Amino acid sequence: MSGMNEKKQVKSKKRVADHGEVFTNEREVNAMLDLVKHETERIDSRFLEPACGNGNFLAEVLRRKLKVVDQRYGNNQMDWERYAVIAVSSIYGVDILEDNAKECRERLYTIFDDFYTALFKDKCKEECRRSIRFLFDRNILWGDALDFTNPSTKQPIVFSEWSAVNGSMLKRRDYMFKFLVEKSHQFSLFNDEGNPAAIDEPVKDFPLIHFLKLSEQ
């Protein structure tokens, strides 16, 4: 996406009128994220943007996380891939407009792939790219964060919690977004311990899987 598009705050007057859609500009994004700078530099710190638009906030969060991954693990491809997957798995977004959610996924994937390709060039693995795409498909969703449903199907929004286990394995648990918000009494996916806040049972519990095999689940 070009810099001009990234800085544009309004797509159309109709979208502003119908959905209140106004994008936060780059300077404001960085100023706000600097207030929680420590969290943006924690590879596994979870971020949720409940009206993510095409990803202005999430793009900068991802860049900051991947810069840390580069600094710490740039000399070891397997470690870099593993921690990049963890970084991506911790970023969540919802938008009421389907085109925004799709654009956000593609934008974030491009940021990841630019970092990946710059470091490892022809050694990049398609299975790693597939895992990253799978994570964005699961974590950046078309939905209404006010009523916790998909605007078309009216099915409840379901998010996945990803937890690293035994180094290279990931554990996936799916939870209904509505209960995550209501039970935690805050607009947050998970509590400080990294666990779903006050949630007893996931919608679905998945077996452990290698971080490079996520798309096979």
Output the DSSP codes for 45-67.
--EEETT-TTSHHHHHHHHHHHH
34 class by beta-carbon count within 10 Å (0-12 exposed, 13-18 middle, 19+ buried): exposed
In a domain, 38, yes or no: yes
Terminal alpha carbon distance of the chain: 30
Cβ neighbours around 171 below 10 Å, total: 15
In a domain, 181, yes or no: no
**pLDDT of 20 higher than 50:** no
Report pTM. 0.81
What are 64-105's pLDDT values in tens digits? 999 999 999 999 999 999 999 999 999 999 999 999 999 999
In a domain, 146, yes or no: yes
**pLDDT of 152 higher than 80:** yes
165 class by beta-carbon count within 10 Å (0-12 exposed, 13-18 middle, 19+ buried): exposed
Lowest pLDDT segment from 9-13, 153-157, 197-201: 9-13
- All residues at 6 or more sequence positions from 1 whose CB lies less than 8 Å from its CB, including other chains: 54, 103, 107, 110
In a domain, 163, yes or no: no
Question: How many domains does the chain fold into?
Answer: 1
In a domain, 83, yes or no: yes
Q: Which residue has the tokens 């491009």?
A: 110
Domain enclosing residue 10, as ranges: 3-157
- For the four alpha carbons of 112, 118, 122 and 123, in that order, the dihedral sign comes to negative
In a domain, 162, yes or no: no
In a domain, 130, yes or no: yes
Lowest pLDDT segment from 68-72, 177-181, 192-196: 192-196
In a domain, 183, yes or no: no
